[in-house]
Amino acid sequence: MKGQEGVVNNLESILNDQKRVFDSSEIFAAAKEVSKERKFGESFEVIVKLNVDPTQGDQNVRGTCVLPAGTGKEVRVCVFAGDEFHEECKAAGAEFIGNEAILKDISEGIILFDKIIATPEFMPTLKSMARILGPKGLMPNLKSGTLVKQHELIETVKISRQGLIEFRVNEGSFIMNKIGNRGFEIEDLKKNLDAIMLAIAKKKPETVKGKYFTKAQIKTSMGPPLKLDIGAY
């Protein structure tokens, strides 16, 4: 009982201390402690508030990042590219190659992949499917790293399978992204956190003066948010 009381007291201490800020080496263990493990596979999420005005074009922060420890989710990739790249794309991990059958499936709302990577010559064809692909976030574009030149194609397929994610500031000036599963090792979660925070930092608009990161939090899917020390970023 004493052991259980100690755990309960520690949880209450963490949750009640609203001013407490955790550094990246301790925040994941604390987040696990204050959130009981669920029957489904929870994710870890980072929430970052930026000192930007997203209505200004140059402050609509957006970019991509490769999570070193992966996302914890299998990403099924479909590639639209010339015939000469098909075999190499499959070897790099692409599960689907765009063709007439795939386009017919898309038009009927049958989508069995998580990401489309395309070279520019296929965009006129894909734009005809924009009303279906756009709302699902599947329309290839330069900013998301999914519209690529031919010499970038194979490497893009590889990193998409390994953990390429997209981040984008919302109308409230927040960026919210999943950075791994609850079952990840603490060190792997920290590596993923560092990667996305540094990637966001590199996208600081020139028109933003002074502090860029306003605040940041870490939480599990169903757990309470804990404050992250942003001083290192």
Q: Which of 114, 143, 162 is the last residue of a domain?
A: 162
pLDDT, greater one: 43 or 40: 43
Domain extent, residue 178, equals: 21-70+164-228
- What's 158's domain CATH number? 3.40.50.790
Identify whether 6 is part of a domain. Answer: no
Q: 10 Å Cβ neighbour count for 146?
A: 21
- What's 194's domain CATH number? 3.30.190.20
Residues 91 and 135 in one domain: yes
Check residue 222 and give its pLDDT.
87
Identify whether 1 is part of a domain. Answer: no
Confidence of residue 7 (pLDDT cuts 50, 70, 90): very low
pTM of the predicted structure, to 2 decimals? 0.80
Check residue 6 and give its pLDDT.
44
Q: Assign residue 30 a region (left: φ > 0; alpha: ψ between -120 and 50; beta: otherwise).
A: alpha
Residues 122 and 192 in one domain: no
Residues 6+ apart with CB under 8 A from 156: 117, 145, 146, 148, 164
Confidence of residue 11 (pLDDT cuts 50, 70, 90): very low
Q: Does pLDDT of 184 surpass 60?
A: yes
Identify whether 41 is part of a domain. Answer: yes
Residues 66 and 172 in one domain: yes
For the chain, what is the domain count? 2
Q: Which of 162, 178, 199 is the last residue of a domain?
A: 162
Identify whether 217 is part of a domain. Answer: yes
pLDDT, greater one: 88 or 33: 88
Residues 132 and 157 in one domain: yes
- Two tokens, residue 31: 């987040």
Residues 141 and 168 in one domain: no
Identify whether 128 is part of a domain. Answer: yes
Residues 97 and 59 in one domain: no
Name which of 57, 28, 62 is nearest 42 in CA terms: 28
Check residue 97 and give its pLDDT.
97
Residues 82 and 157 in one domain: yes
Residues 99 and 150 in one domain: yes
For residues 97-117, give the mean pLDDT: 96
Q: What's 147's DSSP letter?
A: B
